[in-house]
Copies of this chain bind each other. A is one copy, B any other.
């Protein structure tokens, strides 16, 4: 799946917008030895001084204009979005926003969106599609807010609708997991043509604490749960959940926001440029296949997994300008 989407290891045959050139890591073996444990990644991803969405947006994009509101109930501060320029190209951005202080975290609800946050996202996705603007999403949430008001206003419905719309949104989508990719609340911003993650980001079906509480009956087993769930960058590469990792500065993204943003910008520019050259129908088919392929099953009667993606897509993506050849 990595080759198909990011096209890195076949750099020489490609179209010049390559993962390797963009400083991306597409194979866990490319990472330094002595890499952090899953639990260390969890801690790094949650570090309050880690650059959050607006800090990244301010450094990566020009002329960001935030757009507010879901047009129905409330403007949710845990999700920010708007229009900005990425190396001169207008794009729509939708991002989860944590706080850099306790005060801001209270205002941002610790990056846990309410349903109206996802409905704002949905509105902005539609805006992107309507005006042919590429969509960049930045994922960073412990999860969707689980409180009773969120249940009353349809947290599950909002997430499901957001996922559904992304699967068929007729514009290129690049997802970057900045910090925590917390379950369905993250996935509601996470369906893209390319899914990237910072090196120390995590992406999991449930928080390690939640998993430990249920399976080990003790939240203190979170470290074990984190390791078992394979939620850290290298694991996500292995499973194909992310297509490539963006390298962080040596001490972690929190040690150098500028360098982190620069690496993200390089990756985004290359990916958006590449995706914008792919015919939309192909892009939508590929996006479908990207998520269609997840799953590890055995079928004794047929003896095989689902059919692999068609080869013409591979050619198409590796070199969209040359069409069917190569």
Report which A residues bind B (CB closer than 8 A).
71-73, 115, 119, 152-154, 157-158, 161
CB-CB nearest in chain B for A71: B157
Closest to A158 in B: B72
Cβ contact within 8 Å between A119 and B157: no
**A to B CB contacts below 8 Å, 15 in the list:** A71-B154, A71-B157, A71-B161, A72-B72, A72-B73, A72-B115, A72-B119, A72-B153, A72-B154, A72-B157, A72-B158, A73-B73, A73-B152, A73-B153, A73-B154
| Docked pose: A153 CA to B71 CA in angstroms | 8
Task: List 11 additional A-B contacts (Cβ < 8 Å) besides A72-B153, A73-B153.
Answer: A71-B154, A71-B157, A71-B161, A72-B72, A72-B73, A72-B115, A72-B119, A72-B154, A72-B158, A73-B73, A73-B154
Tell me the minimal C-beta distance from A23 to chain B in angstroms: 42
B-chain residues with CB within 8 Å of residue A153 when the two chains form the complex: 72-73
Interface of A is mostly: helix
Bound CA span A115–B154, Å: 16
Residue of B nearest to A154 (CB): B72
Which residues from B are CB-within-8-Å of A73? 72-73, 152-154
Determine the distance from Cα of A158 to Cα of B72 in the docked complex, in whole angstroms: 8
Which residues does chain B contribute within 8 Å of A157, judged by CB atoms? 71-72
With both beta carbons as reference points, the residue of chain B lying nearest to A72 in the complex is identified as B154
**Chain B hits for A161, CB < 8 A:** 71
Least Cβ–Cβ distance between A210 and chain B, in angstroms: 27
Report the bound CA distance from A73 to B152 in whole Å: 7
CA–CA, A158 and B71, complex, Å: 9
Report Cα–Cα, A153/B153, bound state, in Å. Answer: 12
A69 to chain B: closest CB distance in Å?
9
Q: Which residues of B contact A158 (CB under 8 A)?
A: 72
Q: Report Cα–Cα, A157/B152, bound state, in Å.
A: 21
User: In the assembled complex, how far is the CB of residue A79 from the closest CB belonging to chain B, in whole angstroms?
Assistant: 16
CA–CA, A93 and B32, complex, Å? 64
Select from chain B the residue with minimum beta-carbon distance to A119. B72
- Which of A71, A72, A158 is packed against the most chain B CB atoms within 10 Å? A72
Q: Report chain B residues within 8 Å CB of A154.
A: 71-73
Give complex CA distance A158, B73 in Å: 11
Across the interface, which residues of B come within 8 angstroms of A115, CB to CB? 72
CB distance from A119 to the nearest CB of B (A): 7
Q: Nearest chain B CB to A116's CB is how many angstroms away? A: 9
Which chain B residue lies CB-closest to A153? Answer: B73
Closest CB-CB distance, A155 to chain B, in whole Å?
A: 11
